[in-house]
Amino acid sequence: MEIYLDNAATTPLLPEVETAMMTTFKQFGNPSSLHRKGVQAEDVLKRTRQQILHSLEVRQGRVVFTGGGTEANNLAIFGTVRRFPNRGKHLVTTSIEHPSVLEVYRYLGRHGWDVTFIDPDASGQVHAQDILSALRPDTLLVSMMHVNNETGAILPVQQVGEVLKGRRQTLFHVDGIQAFGKVSACLVNAQADLYTVSAHKLGGPKGVGALYLRQGVEINPLLLGGGQEFGIRSGTENVVGIAGFGAAAALAEQALPDSWNHVQDLYDVLSDGLKKIGASVVTPYPFSPYVINASFPGIRAEVLLHALEAQGVYVSTGSACSTHKGRVQSSHVLRAMNRPHEEIAGAVRFSLARWLTLEDVQTALVRVAEQVQWLQRVGG
C-alpha cells in the first residue's frame, strides 16, 4: 500500500474533479466568443469565480484566473509596484515566504526598491509587531503567507491586516495557497487586499491559480493581449482546468470544518509517533495540522526520503518549488529560524490531506520507524 504524505507539494486529482473536467472538455468554446459555444465556456468561468468567492466567504471583489500560484503571487506583487511607481519605494515581506514571493522581492531589491525582510523566531512564527514596526510612510506593499508551506506556521495575517486597513497607501498581499480550502474563512481572517490561491493543493488540477482583488483594488497586468480577466491577465482561459478548480474548491468547502478536525487528529498521531521514534519536530504556534516538519539525528533528509519511497511512503525535503532535479537546496525557512545545521540537513516534511485515514498514518509510522532504525545502524 502506497501512502502519499507530500500533499503540500501537490495532491492527487479527486474523482469528482476529474468528472467535472471531463464534462467540460465537451465545452470547447472560447470564453471570449459571442456565440453559444463561447457563452457556455464563459458560464464555467462565472460559476468558478462565484465558487471561489463563496469559499473565501466574501461577496464582493474580483477573481482573476492565472496559470498557477506562482503566477498569481508574481501578478499581485509586480502588478502593484507597476501600478503605483510613485506612491512609495518601500516593501515589507518575511524571510520564510514561498520562492514565488521571496524571489520577486529579491529581484525588486536589486532594481531600486527598498525591501525589509522580517525573520521568524526559533519556532518558525513571525510576530505581527515585527511586521508593523517595519512600516514606513513610503511603504507601498506588505506580503506574507497565511500558512507556511514547510513548517505549518499560521502567520498573524489578521492582526497585520487590521492595522493596514487604516493605511490607504499600503496594500496587503497574502499568499493563501496552503490555507485555501483548509482554514475556515481564510480571507475574512486575513483582511487582505490581494489573496492568492491554487487548485492543485486541494485535489484540483495543476496549472490553475487565482488572484483575489478586494473591490476597488487596481493593479497593472503582466501579460498584454486580448484583455481577458478584467484586463489584468490576458490570454485565453484554461476552461477545463478552471472547471476542476471550481469542483475542488466546492468539495473542500463542503468538508470544512470537519476536515480540519480530522486532520488535526491525524497530526496528533503522526507528531507523537515521530517523537517516539526520536524525531525533532518543529512546533510553531498557531499552526496548521496539514504540515509537519521533522528531522532525525544523524540522518540526511534525502537519504530518508528515498528509503521511505522504497517502502511506498512519499514525503519531501521541503518546498518542491525550491528542489531541482539532482540538487536539493537547504531550507531557507529553517535557516531563517536559526535551526542547527544537522536539523536543517535532516528536515523532512510530512504533509497531510483530509482523505487520509488513521490507518494510513499508523502504517506510515511503522515504515518510518523501520527505516530510521536501519539508517541509524548503517550510518545514514
Beta bridge partners of 147: 154
Here the cell at position 179 is 490555507
Beta bridge partners of 213: 62, 194
Q: What are phi and psi of 148, to 5 degrees?
A: -70, 135
Under a CB-based contact definition with an 8 Å cutoff, are residues 132 and 100 in contact? no
SS3 readout for 86-114: CCCCEEEEECCCCHHHHHHHHHHHCCCCE
Under a CB-based contact definition with an 8 Å cutoff, are residues 151 and 180 in contact? no
DSSP letters along 106-162, please?
A: HHHHTTT-EEEEEPP-TTSPPPHHHHHHT--TTEEEEEEESB-TTT-BB--HHHHHH
The beta-strand segments (E) located in the chain are 3-4, 62-66, 90-94, 114-118, 139-145, 171-175, 194-198, 209-213, 280-281, 291-295, 313-314, 323-324, 327-328, 348-351
Catalytic residues: 321
As a whole number of angstroms, the distance between CA 283 and CA 268 comes to 12
As a whole number of angstroms, the distance between CA 5 and CA 352 comes to 6
Q: What are phi and psi of 323, to 5 degrees?
A: -115, 120
Q: What are phi and psi of 363, to 5 degrees?
A: -65, -40
What are the angstrom distances between the C-alpha of 293 and each of 15, 101, 183, 283, 363?
Answer: 29, 21, 19, 8, 19
Closest CA to 206 of 254, 156, 164, 248: 248
Here the cell at position 180 is 485555501
